[in-house]
Each structure stands twice: as structure tokens, then as C-alpha cells.
Chains A and B, each alone.
Chain A
């Protein structure tokens, strides 16, 4: 045994020195390297798991938001359709009302125009009758050679006016 130890150069002092060196590496690496590295690996694993969970949540939120958005859009579309048809109806009603108003206005204008025309016609007829009566009086005076007094003139005028059926 001793001979083998001598051949291999084994001695307590050297063995102890090597053990101390190895134990130093063991304790230092355990405390200052493996511990922090494993802790940061665990932290990263947790972060990744958290990120994955967040991603899943974001995906589900996104899909629910998309569903909600689609629902809102379809609601808005149906509401817009309703508003458009309502607007069309009110526009048609307004148009009808305005048309009727315009027709009534036009009727009034026509009636006024007719009235004015009638008055003008009557005025012209009266003037014509007057001119015609004067013409008849003047002609009667010239034909008969008689000087017509106011009474004659009045009578001739009235007879002429009575015979003119205009």
C-alpha cells in the first residue's frame, strides 16, 4: 500500500491541498455562480410563462374585442339603415308638403292674376263703353244736326250702353 502510494506520489499533504482546491471551487461556484444563474433562469422561465399567459389573454381579449366590434358595427349598420330609411321617408313627406305648398301658392298667384285680369277687362270694357257712347252721341249730333243737351246725351249713352252686350 505504501509502495503504491509512493509510486503514485500520494501524500496526505498533497491530497489535502487538492481537496481544498476542489472544495474551494465547489463552494464558490455553488454560492456565487450556480445559485444566481439558476435564479435568473427561473426568473426568465417565470417571465416567459407570464408572457405566454399574457399573450393568451391578449389573444382572447382581441377575439372578444373583435366580436364586440363586429357587433357594434352591425348594430351601427342597422341603425344607419333605419336612419337612412327614416330620412328618406321624412324627405318624401317634406317634398310632398312643399309640393302641396307650392301648388297652393301657384293657385293663389293664378287666382290673383285672374282677378287682376278680370278687373282690367272690366275697366277696359267700361272705358270702351264710355268711348263708344261718346262716339254715338257725337255721331247722333252730327247726323241729326241737332245740338244735344245733357239730358239727351245721358239717355243716348245709357241706351247705347244697354244695347252693347259685351
Chain B
């Protein structure tokens, strides 16, 4: 059993606790890392956008490449009309998540903190100072809620409340007359299912990202501690703690990028699905 029922007790099977550890009253280690990542992103953006010129400097060039690439992807999915309004959210989601995911791979994240043992080095860190921001469900749920709010705003702006109701419940495919009347209950039922799926989108988005990153963090810690776990001596355990996690670091780099893409891509698809006018299908 991984979780103890009704408590936030850490299971011995997990190297990292499910919940973020508090550093102060309202400050958890993941909030602290999220703030640091935010600072780094804003610092990079400021460096890239200061003294911008038509012939770009290095930072501007890189940032322009990222923005142009993301904009083209967003435009290809949501269309030219919605892209200017959807792009800031989707680009922020991608940049923030990929930065937060990769920041979690920086040495020291999850390994520096308080734990069992004596002296400067502890056997097992139970309260790390730094925890990957996206390995906290509060963060991923927060991003998903923001994304759904922007999705709702864009949908209302494009279709309006009545348009959204029609888009969700009305018969599709240009059906009219008796056929539409006969199929209307089915489409209504499909609409109800659609509403339920919309309601669950923040949950699915946040749990997917959290699950992958939390699992990755656990994987890295488990691989790092493998020498101790199988009972090797101090020196072989140290060597294995350095060598064994290396391939998993590369895997986590890929997972971090993929999860950012998946989150942003799903949000883009949700926006596309709900902002497309029915007549555009024909």
C-alpha cells in the first residue's frame, strides 16, 4: 500500500513524499521552486526583450525562435483567428512546465534538506529544501484551472453562451427536419457526456503531469539509493548512486519535455474543439 488511509504518511515504497513539504507557514518547497523558476523565466525573458533590434542579439534570437515555433504550432491547431488570444496561455504553459520539469533535474533538488541521520550528511532526506514544482499537485492543478478559465473565456468570446449550448447539445453534421429531431436525444446525451469530460479536464491534466513528474522524481531517488537498498558498501554504493541514475536523467529530460508538450497540446485541442464554429466543418 502506497498511501496510508486518511493521513499524509509517507509510504516506505516511495522515496519522495506525495505532498510538498512545508518550509514555512504557507511556503512549501515546491512553491519556493515555482517562485525560483518564475524568476528565472522572467529574467531570461527580460534579457531577451531588452534592447530588441531587427538584427537580434543571442538571447533575443533564441527567444524569438521559441516564440515563433510555438506560435506556428498554436496557429496550426487553433487556427489563425483564435491563435493571437490563445497563444500567450499555451506558450506560458509550455515554457513554465518545461522549465519547472527540467529545474527538477538540477542536482540538489530533492537531495538537500532535513532527514534521518546525524551530522551534515543524512541517510534519507524527508524534507528537501527544493522539490520540483510540477511534482506538487497544487501546481499542476493550479495551471490546469488557469487553462480552463482561459478556455472558458475564449469559448464564450467565440461562441457566446447560447452558441456553446448549441455547439455542445445540438445535432451536428447539418442535420435538419425529422432526422435531426430523431437524433436530438442522442446528441443531447453526447452533450452531457461532453460536459462531464470538460469538468474532468483539469483533473486529468493535473494528475497526468503530476503523476509523470512525481514518478520521475521517485525513480531518480530510487536509482540513486539502489546501492544502499541492495546492501552495497559505502564506496560501491556511492559509485552506483552516481552511475545508475544517469540514463534515467536523460529519460526524465525527455519526459519533462513531452509532458509540457502534452499539457499545452491538449489545452490547444480543447480550445480548438470549443471555438470552432459548426459551419467551419462543412
Q: Does B34 lie within 8 Å of A18, measured CB to CB?
A: yes
Select which of B20, B63, B96, B141 is within 8 A of A25 by beta carbon. Answer: B96
CB nearest neighbor in A for B2: A7
Interface size class of B (residues with CB under 8 A): 35 or more
A13 and B146 contacting across the interface, CB-CB below 8 Å = no
| A window 8-27: CB within 8 A of B | 8-11, 13-19, 21-26
- B38 in complex: contacting residue of A11, A13, A25, A44, CB < 8 Å: A25
Q: Mark B121-164, 1 if CB is under 8 A from A, else 0.
A: 00000000000010011110111011000000000000000000
A20 to B249, CA, bound (A): 30
- Per-residue CB contact flags for chain A residues 34-66 toward chain B (1 = under 8 Å, else 0) read 101110110110010000000000000000000
Residue numbers in B under 8 Å from A9 (CB-CB)? 8, 17-20, 28, 136-138
Which one of B34, B41, B91, B145 contacts A34 once the chains associate, using CB atoms below 8 Å?
A: B91
Residues in A neighbouring B49, C-beta threshold 8 A: 32-33, 36-37
Is A150's beta carbon under 8 Å from chain B?
no
Instruction: Name A's interface SS.
Output: helix
Q: Which of B64-72, B103-111, B237-245 contacts A (4 or more CB under 8 A)?
A: B64-72
Q: Which residues on the B side are within 8 Å of A21 (C-beta)?
A: 31, 34-35, 38, 142
Check if A29 is an interface residue, CB within 8 A of chain B. yes
A8, B63: Cα distance in complex, Å? 35
Residues of B within 8 A of A (CB): 3, 5-8, 17-20, 26-28, 30-31, 34-35, 38, 41-42, 45-46, 48-49, 52, 54, 56, 60, 63-64, 67-68, 71, 87-89, 91-92, 95-96, 133, 136-139, 141-143, 145-146, 210
